Amino acid sequence: MPRIFGLADCNNFYVSCERVFDPTLKRRPVVVLSNNDGCIIARSEEAKALGIPMGAAFFEVRSLIRRHRVEVFSSNYALYGDMSQRVMESFAAFTPEVEVYSIDEAFLGLDGFSGRDIAAYCREIRAKIGQWVGLPISIGTAETKTLAKLAARLAKKSPGGVFDLSSSPLRRRLLAATEVGDVWGVGSRLARMLKANGVHSALDLHDAPDAWIRKRMAVTGLRTAMELRGVSCIDLERQPPPRQTTVVSRTFARPVERLDELGDAVSTFAARAAEKLRRERLVAGNVAVFITTGRFAGEERRYANGATIAFPGPTSHGGEIIRVALGGLERIYRPGYRYKKAGVMLLDLAAEDRQQPDLFAPPARERDRRVIKALDDINRNLGRGTIRYGWPGAGPGWRMQQRRLSPGYTTRWTDLPVARG
């Protein structure tokens, strides 16, 4: 029996959430802004029609917004998260197979309903979500997740907000009318490469030879092509896989220059990250801190750096995480720059109850890893080239390693930000 997947997608999710709490916003242009009110992250249909692009900097479209009296909201993630949860829980009334894919999307397993008119069933789901939660959604259905994503795009423009691609006699024609870059799994880089090679539509990719796809797009690309052909390669994931990393980072409203101010920010980020960890009963093995100057600084001197530090043992202890993160910050901070962004990332997450020390990691190897990590942090921010480094006492003579580093950058082992043992 062929699989049938549905993709349910909330329309203009953040804007729709705001409308639930203020119905006078209906049929008016509305946008929602990112943190610091920096740029546009959600638009109502009316706002899209005015030509306000997704991701536009707020200051760039300010006059347009004023002229057309667009309603503007700062984002309210607590509200959106709560609304999202209500929608996702509502889906469970219609199928036991629900994969929460993002804050505003879920894949639904609809196999069991093959005997029924699938589109009619989806219209029922849509009506009930509208009634129970007050949010408009669209649902696309097909034999694979990739096709269901395409179907959901078509559903947005269909009367009734539902589209079943599995039974559509127009399938080839619809694929031909879909830009290859609009296919799930084909981003801007691959789209450019594909177009340069004459693959313009989803149908072109569907028809391309496997060997060519494998060579140019790796296995993920091949999987995408197979999915376009109706062969399901990406299954539903009812339980989310365990989290591997968590990040708290922010762009500052104003440039920050002083170490103590950066320290305040980093402490806050570290504390939040630690909270996330404890909420999910996880522990972290490493913490990374990073700071950067602006991306749009023009002539200004740029600087970006990060440091990764291993905890003595896996931890979720807020105080410890803050302390270690601040230590990392001190290592990478350079005065005289205008910093625009900082962040703290917790790595190597594991379930709290299964933590055990790694009994098999010899100390020398641990040190080796830390040196390489420290160098890679430098490396990542400076570019390519080659350096050699080592330290005395590691066997006969110095142990030497090679790492790529930026041209023109030289260092001696004594320069390295590590303790010598």
Which parts of this chain interact with DNA (CB under 7 A)?
34-36, 38-39, 41, 55, 57-59, 101-105, 149, 183-191, 218-220, 241, 243-251, 253-255, 276, 294-296, 340-341, 343, 368-369, 372-373, 376-377, 379-380, 384, 399, 401-402, 404
Q: How far is the CB of 419 from DNA (least distance, A)?
A: 18
Q: How far is the CB of 87 from DNA (least distance, A)?
A: 13
> What is the DSSP annotation of 270-338?
HHHHHHHHHHTTEEEEEEEEEEEE-TT-TTS---EEEEEEEEEEEE--HHHHHHHHHHHHHHH--TT--
147 or 248: CB nearest DNA: 248
> Per residue in 33-52, is it b (16+ CB within 10 Å) or e — as a string?
bbeeeebbbbbbebbeebeb
- CA 168, CA 148: separation in Å to the nearest integer? 12
With tokens 């796809």, the residue in question is: 213
**How much is the CA Rg of the chain, to the nearest whole Å?**
26
120 or 177: CB nearest DNA: 177
296 or 414: CB nearest DNA: 296
Q: How far is the CB of 108 from DNA (least distance, A)?
A: 15
Q: How far is the CB of 126 from DNA (least distance, A)?
A: 18
Q: φ and ψ at 282, to 5 degrees? A: -120, 165
Calculate the dihedral angle through the C-alpha atoms of 377, 383, 386, 389, rounding to the nearest 10 degrees.
-20
Q: How far is the CB of 200 from DNA (least distance, A)?
A: 15
Q: Which of 44, 37, 54, 39 is nearest to 16 (CA)?
A: 44
229 or 338: CB nearest DNA: 338
169 or 395: CB nearest DNA: 395
261 or 368: CB nearest DNA: 368
Residue 233: HSE in the Cβ half-sphere, 13 Å Cα cutoff:
15
Q: How far is the CB of 124 from DNA (least distance, A)?
A: 24
Return the number of other C-beta atoms located less than 10 Å from residue 370's C-beta.
Answer: 17
